[in-house]
Amino acid sequence: MKKILTFCLAAILGLAQYEEAQATICYVKTGATGLNNGTSWTNAYTSLQATAANSADTIWIAAGTYKPTNDTTRSAYFDLRNKNVFGGFAGTETQLSQRNITANPTILSGDIGVAGDNSDNSYSLIRIFSTGDYFTLFADGLILEKSGRYAISFSAALTIGMTAISATFNNCIFRDNQGTEGAVLLAALSGPTRFNNCTFERNHVTGNGGVFYLSGSNFIHAYGTATATDCRFFNNTALGNGGVAYYGLGGFTADRCIFAGNSADVGGVVYTDLLWSGGTGSGPQFSTSNSIFAGNRANSIGAINCNTLQMQNCTVAGNKAGNGYAINALATSYIRNSIVWNNIDTVGNTPGAMQVSLNIQGNNAAYVRRNIIQNNTAIPGNFDFDPLFVAPAAAGTSPFNFDDYNYQLSAASPAIDLGADSFVTATMDLNKTARIQGSHVDLGCYEKTNCVSTVTGAISASADTIFCPGTSVHLSAPAGGTSYHWTTGAATDTTSVSGAGIYYVNVIDAQNCPAQFSIKITSYLPFIGITGDTSRCIPSTTLTASGNVSTYAWSNGATTAATTINTPGSYYVTGTNAQGCSVTSDTVHLFFYPTPAQPVITQSGNSVQTTIYATYQWMFEYIPGSNVFWDVPGATLQYYVPAIPTPNSGRYKVRVTNAEGCEALSEVFQYIEPLGLHDRQTLPAISLYPNPVQDMLHIDLFTTGPVSYTIHDVVGKTVATGKAQRTATNLAIKIPAQLINGIYFLQLKTEQREYLGKFVK
């Protein structure tokens, strides 16, 4: 046998009270086609929001996914004040006892925008925030997921504040919620919130309190309280403090709970503030019993950092922190009948030199007695020897999957019968086994049973235990028990499951001896994805499906792994693996827009320009001849005027986009810096006469060899070129008759150098 997971009878026993006392039931079922007034399953509302105007105090919800809004209004939420809400129905039941919450998942989802995109989810799922009124809320058999927003206050799956409220959640799952503080419960100045047999997994915050935020900077001296019984906290994270809970004046109590795989900066599970008065620390208390803290991680304090700690019969093992601490207590604290073992630092992956830090402040005191604490022999009344767990995780593997290990006591464990009976505060251990099986209570969260159950055999399945997702199998426990408790929440000898995993049942026989049985359900889980160029500015693309499937069915009719798409639209692919299980990919949206015509650069005077596009970016060749072009900062107009004189004169390109954002790039353009438009003192001057001139222009320049000339107008345009005539005493140039009267520049070029002069016609 491995380990027995915990269950809560309180929620199940309490259902009968609701059945007997029901006044009016309001029904909700997706796809109901009747009158949709909530009076029956046939006439059920099709959305949970529609029940807000219904006066019924009890709501039954059939399997399906329900969102707080039909649009993308992120501030929308469910108003369930003074309601008793039950999920897990198929939509035909007449009694609460007939429902199966595992086979009929009822999901309240905040995924209101793009499916799978958590940046546009609703801020809260359930919100109660007012003053002066008293409210109650009872919820059972719900899954609350994918709510919250980072960087905004009052964003959590459950937001409760400034009101007196008694809220209870039984047999619920809270998963994949997010927020700044408290992804699941954000409570301030509120009454108690109770959770029984609930699972909290993969919730995440950028601040404090990955699951519960019961006070803090947003609420000055605010408080809220939470109680968890038979709950599981897996893989929740806080980038700040308290991977599961953070609070100031509030409080958190946990009995028979599992905390595994959670992480934070400080306090992988719990972090509380310390308040001072008269030299004595006070305020928030963390009270826990019969619980295990394993595989949690933090930069500092792997599991618990708190002021007042009440811990009885707990196991704190396999946690990881920068300093190797598992527990840090600051005010009056009690740690008794517990095991603190193999909690390691993040550097050397070795057990911390101080597993429990009693950093007690002021006039407070610590009462740490009858525990196994590794490397803490200096604390009197405790022990330092291996508790010999059945199958603990190896050092350094945190965070890890709790179900892969077993922290029950082996038969040879020295922790058996080692506890002090006077410290026992509960009648059952984490497995719901009666405490004190031997001569004295055992240390840690598990009690080693000495009786042998009369129930034998194995869990049987109604079908193959390996099946495709979306189907289910009926499980039956061995006969002979007087009570049954499944990890699914069922309390009979049978249950239905539809997902992969290891399922456990705890069977109690007539002598009150427990036996635990497990069965592994495997899903032929196919997966598929699409790769390919999905950019907007392409004429076509090839999409390729990848995954563990063997056949393909594209939405465009293709049946191969790859398909070429020439038409804009939405495309997806369904793949089927060798076992016949199918899965459909996410949808890919393709928009094919034409690329703009290649821009052509022309020069006019001292500027370069191109034709009309939506945007422009001029580029220049920074190093001549390198063919490497850099963007010219700020050159984003249809034309560009290079500075004169400038190192940028030379070769240019322009990059343009059209209205759809598609780009095109010009060819290289050779920019010719115009003469007459800048200070030409860099060229030697020459003497010209007559000036003004009408016909023949003479130049006093004594040189041998050929002399060429170029005449430019005032904007740099070349208007005449030729060879100068040589006379006996100077050079002469015939002025073209077609030149209009005006100012001109004459550029002479010999074999040795260039000269410049200005004349008027």
Q: What is the DSSP string of 255-301?
A: ES-EEES-EEEE-SSEEE--EEETTEEES-EEEEES-EEES-EEEE-
Contact 526/575 with Cβ under 8 angstroms? yes
552 C-beta neighbours (distance < 10 Å), count: 20
- At 115, the pLDDT band (50, 70, 90 cuts) reads confident
418-462 residue pLDDT tens = 999 999 989 999 988 889 988 999 999 999 877 778 899 999 988
Single-letter amino acid, residue 6: T
Categorise residue 607: left if φ over 0, alpha if ψ from -120 to 50, beta otherwise: beta
Q: End-to-end CA distance of the chain, in Å?
A: 112
In this structure, of 195-199, 245-249, 719-723, the range with the lowest mean pLDDT score is 245-249
Q: What percent of the chain has pLDDT over 90?
A: 35
CA dist list (Å): 299 to 101, 200, 345 = 38, 22, 9
Return d(Cα 470, Cα 378) in angstroms, integer: 56
Name every residue whose Cβ is closer than 8 Å to that of residue 208 and which is 6 or more positions away in sequence: 181, 182, 216, 238, 240, 241, 242, 246, 264, 271
Burial class (CB in 10 A: 0-12, 13-18, 19+), 542: exposed
Name every residue whose Cβ is closer than 8 Å to that of residue 113 and which is 6 or more positions away in sequence: 72, 119, 120, 121
Return d(Cα 16, Cα 495) in angstroms, integer: 19
Name every residue whose Cβ is closer than 8 Å to that of residue 547 and which is 6 or more positions away in sequence: 526, 527, 528, 529, 575, 583
pLDDT at 315 > cutoff 90: yes
Question: What is the average pLDDT across 670-693?
Answer: 70
pLDDT at 400 > cutoff 70: yes
Burial class (CB in 10 A: 0-12, 13-18, 19+), 45: buried
In Å, how far from its chain's centre is CA 700?
83
Q: What is the pLDDT of residue 134?
A: 74
Contact 450/319 with Cβ under 8 angstroms? no
Q: What is the pLDDT of residue 379?
A: 80
Name every residue whose Cβ is closer than 8 Å to that of residue 722 and which is 6 or more positions away in sequence: 708, 709, 733
Return d(Cα 484, Cα 661) in angstroms, integer: 64
Return d(Cα 452, Cα 511) in angstroms, integer: 9
Question: What is the average pLDDT across 654-663?
Answer: 92
Structure tokens at 292: 């295990």
Q: What is the pLDDT of residue 188?
A: 58
- At 511, the pLDDT band (50, 70, 90 cuts) reads confident
Return d(Cα 303, Cα 292) in angstroms, integer: 10
Question: What is the average pLDDT across 255-264?
Answer: 94
Q: What is the pLDDT of residue 361?
A: 64
Q: What is the pLDDT of residue 5?
A: 33
In this structure, of 6-10, 569-573, 638-642, the range with the lowest mean pLDDT score is 6-10
Helix or strand holding residue 16 (H, E)? helix 9-21
Q: How many residues does the chain have?
A: 761
Q: What is the pLDDT of residue 490?
A: 84
Structure tokens at 624: 């001549």
Single-letter amino acid, residue 182: G
- At 680, the pLDDT band (50, 70, 90 cuts) reads very low
- At 6, the pLDDT band (50, 70, 90 cuts) reads very low
Q: What is the pLDDT of residue 533?
A: 80
Contact 287/314 with Cβ under 8 angstroms? no
- At 114, the pLDDT band (50, 70, 90 cuts) reads confident
Can you give the C-alpha Rg of the chain in angstroms? Answer: 40
Q: What is the pLDDT of residue 123?
A: 84
Contact 143/177 with Cβ under 8 angstroms? no
Question: What is the average pLDDT across 114-124?
Answer: 81
11 versus 640: the higher-pLDDT residue is 640
pLDDT at 635 > cutoff 80: yes
User: 3-class SS at 15?
Assistant: helix
* Mean pLDDT computed over every residue of the chain: 83
Q: Which residues sit opposite 461 in a β-bridge?
A: 475
Return d(Cα 104, Cα 89) in angstroms, integer: 6
Name every residue whose Cβ is closer than 8 Å to that of residue 460 and which is 6 or more positions away in sequence: 475, 476
613-630 residue pLDDT tens = 999 999 998 787 888 999
Q: What percent of the chain has pLDDT over 70?
A: 87
Return d(Cα 451, Cα 438) in angstroms, integer: 10
Q: Which of 331-335, 350-354, 377-381, 397-401 has the highest mean pLDDT?
A: 331-335
362 versus 119: the higher-pLDDT residue is 119
Angle subtended at Cα 652 by Cα 640 and Cα 682, rounded to the nearest 5 degrees = 80
Single-letter amino acid, residue 359: N
User: 3-class SS at 140?
Assistant: strand
In this structure, of 223-227, 666-670, 704-708, the range with the lowest mean pLDDT score is 223-227
Sheet arrangement for strand 258-260 = 64-66, 106-109, 143-145, 173-175, 199-201, 232-234, 258-260, 292-294, 315-317, 339-341, 372-373
218 versus 283: the higher-pLDDT residue is 283
Name the one residue in this structure whose structure tokens are 């159950």: 453
Q: What is the DSSP secondary-structure string of 476-518?
A: EPPS--SEEEETTS--SSEEEE-S-EEEEEEEE-TTS-EEEEE
> What residue ranges in 56-157 does DSSP mark as E strands?
58-62, 64-66, 83-89, 106-109, 126-129, 134-140, 143-145
160 versus 654: the higher-pLDDT residue is 654
Single-letter amino acid, residue 707: V
Return d(Cα 181, Cα 216) in angstroms, integer: 9
Structure tokens at 680: 């030409």
Q: What is the pLDDT of residue 547?
A: 86
pLDDT at 277 > cutoff 80: no
Contact 375/354 with Cβ under 8 angstroms? yes
- At 372, the pLDDT band (50, 70, 90 cuts) reads very high
pLDDT at 32 > cutoff 80: yes
CA dist list (Å): 342 to 264, 334, 397, 416 = 19, 21, 11, 18
Helix or strand holding residue 711 (H, E)? strand 708-712
The residue among 117, 19, 20, 31 whose CA lies nearest residue 60 is 19
Give yes or no for a cis peptide into 645 (omega within 30° of 0).
Answer: yes
- At 647, the pLDDT band (50, 70, 90 cuts) reads very low
Contact 27/89 with Cβ under 8 angstroms? no
Return d(Cα 394, Cα 413) in angstroms, integer: 18
Return d(Cα 40, Cα 641) in angstroms, integer: 77
Return d(Cα 592, Cα 269) in angstroms, integer: 50
Return d(Cα 566, Cα 578) in angstroms, integer: 31
Question: What is the average pLDDT across 638-663?
Answer: 79
686 versus 298: the higher-pLDDT residue is 298
Return d(Cα 418, Cα 440) in angstroms, integer: 7
Q: 495-514 burial, b if ≥16 CB within 10 A, otherwise e? A: bebbebeebbbbbbbeeebb
Single-letter amino acid, residue 48: L
Question: What is the average pLDDT across 559-575?
Answer: 91
231 versus 681: the higher-pLDDT residue is 231
Q: What is the pLDDT of residue 1?
A: 32
Q: Which residues sit opposite 507 in a β-bridge?
A: 484, 515
Q: 173-186 burial, b if ≥16 CB within 10 A, otherwise e? A: bbbbbbbbbbbbbb
Question: What is the average pLDDT across 566-581?
Answer: 89
Sign of CA dihedral 421, 426, 431, 434: positive
Domains and CATH numbers, the chain: 20-146 (no CATH), 460-523 (no CATH), 528-590 (no CATH), 601-672 (2.60.40), 687-760 (2.60.40.10)
Helix or strand holding residue 574 (H, E)? strand 573-576
